[in-house]
Amino acid sequence: MLETELEMDQEGMTVPYPPLFDHIRRNHGFTDLRGRPDLAAGIVESAGSRAMTDLLVALARPGSKLFTVGCDLGIKESDDEAPNTAGGYIQIMSSEYARRTPDDYARFAQAVAEMLKAKSEDEDWEVRFILRPVRFKLDNFSEMTGSLWIWFHAFADTKHKTLISRENLIGEIKRAFFDDSNLVLFEKEI
């Protein structure tokens, strides 16, 4: 079973961004991984998840049509009223970010959601797709563009099952990201 939703973030963000450490977050800041799978393999926020590391490495490969501007993972063990939850997020942009619109990201999100639904029959997953504006300040570019911020959660009755389910979910997100029928959505002219 999969629950999904698509929304638009009104606030946005700037890339690159500095580290942020507080009582909730341990974000080491933006690292430009484009063309650098060697750096992607060592991202601290993906520690403990082979699937997230594999996804980051795939996004960082030279020639990738997508790249990441952020990710994180977490787990919440159950109490008497809720199941265990393991989740996180991955935020992606098209490598042709200057030419992409929110509609391009919305179409891509819908295609990814459809692929995830087909794989979620024996799982309890929740995925939120958020169209997030980004002021991208790299590559001699300093304008607003878009991104797709994907929050995901897997639920199960034990911590172990929850972590396995999260790994499965991230693996399916990776497959959906790199499916040729989905990537072509970023090749259409605007």
C-alpha 161/C-alpha 83 separation (Å) is 11
The domain 2-15+70-186 is classified under which CATH number: 1.10.3470, 3.40.50, 3.10.450, 3.30.980?
3.30.980
The answer for residues whose C-beta is within 8 angstroms of residue 160's C-beta and 6 or more apart is none
Encode pLDDT of 62-112 as tens digits: 999 999 999 999 998 877 666 899 999 999 999 999 999 999 999 999 999
- Domain ranges across the chain: 2-15+70-186
pLDDT attached to residue 88:
94
pLDDT attached to residue 190:
47
Among residues 155, 19, 171, which one has the least CA distance to residue 90? 171
185 band by pLDDT with thresholds 50, 70 and 90: confident
CB 163 within 8 A of CB 86: yes
Q: What is the pTM of this model?
A: 0.93
